[in-house]
């Protein structure tokens, strides 16, 4: 009986560990791209680390992010679908490749890096929106 209880506790702890390490980045990426697809850039920006810098070296503010995302929507079309691959995780850093399709073109890959910061997964690097 005690053995079953220990196994049950261990499996619950394992599920919690899985949810925090593997599911966490996948959920964050899905919620981020759902917000981008819905053109809800305030919500999308909430998944980005405050330490991220723009291509010109400036801090990536919400306004800079929103302006870049809207410009991409105008030139390449709105995001119509996305599909994230499985995260590759090392300690509290995850890498995820996302295939993104916009209304104006062919699918392209976006490479995201996320880090667990205060129990939330935040995007710390990306090469496209």
| CATH code assigned at 122 | 3.10.450.50
pLDDT tier at 17 (50, 70, 90 boundaries)? very low
pLDDT recorded at residue 108: 97
Q: State the chain's mean pLDDT as an integer.
A: 87
Q: Is residue 12 over pLDDT 60?
A: no
| Structural domain boundaries enclosing 95 | 2-126
Number of domains in the chain: 1
pLDDT recorded at residue 8: 47
* pTM of the complete model: 0.82
Burial class (CB in 10 A: 0-12, 13-18, 19+), 2: exposed
Mean pLDDT of 71-93: 96
């Amino acid at each position: 009986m005690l053995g079953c209880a220990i196994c049950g506790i261990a499996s619950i702890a394992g599920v919690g560990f899985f949810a925090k390490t593997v599911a966490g980045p996948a959920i964050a990426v899905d919620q981020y791209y759902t917000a981008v697809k819905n053109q809800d850039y305030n919500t999308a920006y909430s998944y980005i680390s405050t330490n991220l810098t723009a291509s010109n070296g400036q801090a990536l503010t919400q306004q800079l992010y929103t302006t870049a995302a809207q410009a991409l929507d105008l030139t390449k079309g709105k995001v119509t679908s996305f599909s994230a691959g499985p995260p590759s995780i090392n300690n509290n850093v995850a890498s995820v490749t996302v295939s993104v399709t916009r209304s104006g073109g062919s699918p392209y890959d976006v490479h995201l890096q996320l880090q667990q910061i205060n129990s939330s997964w935040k995007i710390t690097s990306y090469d496209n929106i």
